């Protein structure tokens, strides 16, 4: 799995930097190409000579080469890599990564890196447990970075606890598993709807909802990373898509989203309907801005929008997989099961607005997946990227 993979290994100033030597050896043995980028503090713990000998590449640390003044391009390096691994990652470097403090070559490379990033923290127990570190790690998770959890044991401070960098062979195993999962959706065509819809009232007003689109965009990104050709129909959101595997269609209203979904679905292997589609739209749209005219109350007549999920449920052919979402405030299970059946879905992702950290306008989500065979799986509170990964895992098992 790691043969010919180009890996940037970022090393920061921790006693665990000595394990980086074993890590490089293990990666090279698997056929990977390793380029080390080390922080100035990292060099206090392991010498560049050791690292360049093992990796068979000069180690990069400064923006300029001391000898000939050559400029090391962090942008080129970021584009070169198939994966970036920061191991060991200190609390300071994790903080800089989370906040974009680009004061050394490693952080600038991280900020320029288009490839997936793995971070293996190494620090004292209390530093790791501190809310500042945990918030920074959650921030990295929300960027889609993978955190390799440290293990428990005796730490350099002689304190026992969680903070030891994961062992090199276990880190290599995680990278291998990651690359193994990469191509599982190769050539699969997946339709995803995301974000809210805006239903026009007049030229300046609309009916909308709080959906940010983050969950749907995370799903699109994960599917694309696993090799799928994704068609993302997005309502009005302020998120960019970068992966070349994603074809994005921007729409505004439920009607526009419906038309795009209906036309593209027949070609798809699967569809994940993540959009918070408005159930109703104003029956008439005023051509001019509506005036207040001193009225105490006004009535807006609404007419039903088409149900995209239910319409695709009718069109669904054998072998096509259809997944939906249910965001509920009460009787969650009953409503979710009803939607699963009514819309002819293969599975439904339930999130409750009563769960702290779940639902709209958060970076995290807590879900249960209910499938049409009666299976129910509950997941813990995770970043939306990790949740997306769990959902795509479920989709993969059904597409096999």
Active site residues per annotation: 209
Q: How far is the CB of 273 from ligand CTP (least distance, A)?
A: 4
Q: How far is the CB of 393 from ligand CTP (least distance, A)?
A: 18
**Contact flag: residue 396 with ligand CTP (CB under 6 A):** no
**Contact flag: residue 202 with ligand CTP (CB under 6 A):** no
Query: Hey, which residues between 234 and 263 contact ligand CTP (CB under 6 A)?
Result: 254
Non-local CB neighbours of 88 within 8 Å, separated by 6+ positions: 11, 12, 14, 16, 17, 19, 20, 120, 121, 122, 165
Nearer Cβ to ligand CTP (81/254): 254
**Contact flag: residue 309 with ligand CTP (CB under 6 A):** yes
List the one residue from 55, 136, 305, 383 that touches ligand CTP (CB under 6 A): 305
d(CA 238, CA 217): 11
d(CA 392, CA 301): 39
d(CA 213, CA 147): 23
- Bridge partner list, 192: 232, 272
**Contact flag: residue 277 with ligand CTP (CB under 6 A):** yes
Only one residue has tokens 């994960």, namely 222
Q: Which x/- pattern, by CB under 6 A, does the window 329-348 give for ligand CTP?
A: ----------x---------
Beta-strand pair 205-207/199-202: antiparallel
Nearer Cβ to ligand CTP (185/275): 275
The stretch among 200-208, 286-294, 303-311, 389-397 that binds ligand CTP (CB under 6 A) is 303-311
The stretch among 39-47, 137-145, 269-277, 313-321 that binds ligand CTP (CB under 6 A) is 269-277
d(CA 139, CA 167): 24
109: tokens are 């490379």
What count of residues does the chain have?
A: 400
Nearer Cβ to ligand CTP (93/305): 305
The widest CA-to-CA distance across the chain, in whole angstroms, is 81
Are residues 133 and 119 in contact, defined by beta-carbon separation less than 8 angstroms? Answer: no
399: tokens are 């597409």
Q: Which x/- pattern, by CB under 6 A, does the window 345-374 give for ligand CTP?
A: ------------------------------
176: tokens are 């291998």
**Contact flag: residue 321 with ligand CTP (CB under 6 A):** no
List the one residue from 82, 255, 279, 363 that touches ligand CTP (CB under 6 A): 279
Q: How far is the CB of 74 from ligand CTP (least distance, A)?
A: 40
**Contact flag: residue 216 with ligand CTP (CB under 6 A):** no
d(CA 30, CA 284): 64
Chain-centre distance for alpha carbon 122? 23
Binding footprint of ligand CTP on the chain (CB under 6 A): 193, 254, 273, 275, 277, 279, 305, 307-309, 324-327, 339
């Amino acid at each position: 799995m790691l043969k010919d993979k180009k890996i940037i290994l970022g090393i920061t100033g921790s006693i665990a930097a000595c394990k980086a030597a074993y890590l490089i050896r293990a990666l090279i043995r698997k056929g990977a190409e390793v380029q080390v980028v080390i922080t100035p503090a990292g060099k206090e713990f392991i010498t560049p000579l050791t690292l360049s000998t093992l990796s068979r590449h000069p180690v990069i640390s400064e923006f300029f080469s001391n000898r000939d003044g050559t400029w090391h391009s962090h942008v080129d390096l970021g584009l070169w890599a198939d994966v970036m691994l920061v191991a060991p990652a200190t609390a300071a470097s994790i903080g800089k990564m989370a906040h974009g403090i680009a004061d050394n070559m490693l952080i600038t490379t991280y900020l320029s890196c288009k490839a997936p990033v793995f971070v293996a923290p190494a620090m004292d127990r209390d530093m790791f447990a501190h809310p500042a570190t945990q918030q920074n790690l959650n921030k990295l998770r929300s960027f889609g970075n993978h955190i390799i959890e440290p293990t428990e044991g005796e730490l350099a401070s002689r304190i026992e606890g969680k903070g030891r960098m994961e062992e090199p062979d276990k880190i290599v195993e995680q990278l291998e598993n990651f690359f193994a999962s990469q191509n599982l959706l190769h050539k699969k065509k997946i339709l995803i709807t995301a974000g809210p819809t805006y239903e026009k009232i007049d030229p300046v007003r609309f009916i909308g909802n709080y959906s940010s689109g983050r969950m749907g965009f995370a799903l699109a990104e994960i599917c694309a990373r696993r090799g799928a050709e994704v068609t993302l129909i997005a309502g009005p959101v302020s998120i960019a898509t970068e992966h070349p595997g994603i074809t994005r269609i921007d729409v505004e209203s439920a009607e526009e989203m419906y038309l795009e979904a209906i036309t593209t679905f027949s070609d798809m292997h699967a569809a994940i309907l993540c959009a918070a589609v408005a159930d109703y739209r104003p029956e008439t749209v005023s051509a001019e801005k509506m005036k207040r005219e001193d009225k105490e109350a006004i009535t807006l007549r609404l007419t039903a929008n088409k149900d995209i999920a239910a319409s695709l449920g009718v069109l669904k052919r054998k072998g096509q997989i259809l997944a939906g979402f249910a965001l509920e405030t009460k009787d969650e299970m009953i409503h979710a099961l009803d939607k699963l059946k009514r819309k002819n879905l293969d599975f439904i992702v339930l999130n409750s607005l009563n769960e702290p950290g779940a639902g709209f306008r958060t970076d995290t989500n807590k879900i249960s997946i209910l499938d049409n065979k009666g299976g129910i799986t509950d997941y813990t509170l995770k970043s939306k990227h990790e949740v997306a990964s769990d959902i795509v895992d479920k989709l993969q098992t059904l597409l096999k």
